[in-house]
Amino acid sequence: MKRMIDIMMASLGIAIFCPVMLFIAALIAASSRGPIIYRGKRSGLNYEDFYILKFRTMVDNAEKLGRFSTARNDPRLTAVGKYLRRFNSRR
């Protein structure tokens, strides 16, 4: 029963936010070259690796162009990326 509720709520969330995500994807595609989605490797529980998917906020191949950490005025950030990062909950 819990699994069914989880699936229903996730489907509802996707349906509600799909237009917003499509709009953001279109902005990213129109404003800079490269993929729309960034796939990053992270370390999780018990140091097991997993991949995170998120909208790309930096230029393509940003890892090769600079440091791992980014500042607010990092030149590798795209215009849309600067706007999206303002809504990041971790500051």
Q: Which helix (H) or strand (E) holds 84?
A: helix 79-85
- In the chain, the percentage of residues whose pLDDT exceeds 70 is 81
37 and 53 Cβ atoms separated by less than 8 Å: yes
Q: Is 81 left (phi over 0), alpha (psi -120 to 50) or beta?
A: alpha
Is the model's pLDDT at 75 over the cut of 90? no
pLDDT at 22 over 70: yes
Q: How far is CA 83 from the centre of its chain?
A: 12
* Residue 65 confidence (pLDDT): 67
C-beta pairs of 19-24 under 8 Å, 24+ apart in sequence: 24/55, 24/80, 24/84
Residue 72 is predicted with a pLDDT of 64
Sign of the CA dihedral 66, 61, 88, 90? Answer: negative
Catalogue the long-range contacts made by 65-72 (C-beta closer than 8 Å, 24 or more residues apart).
none
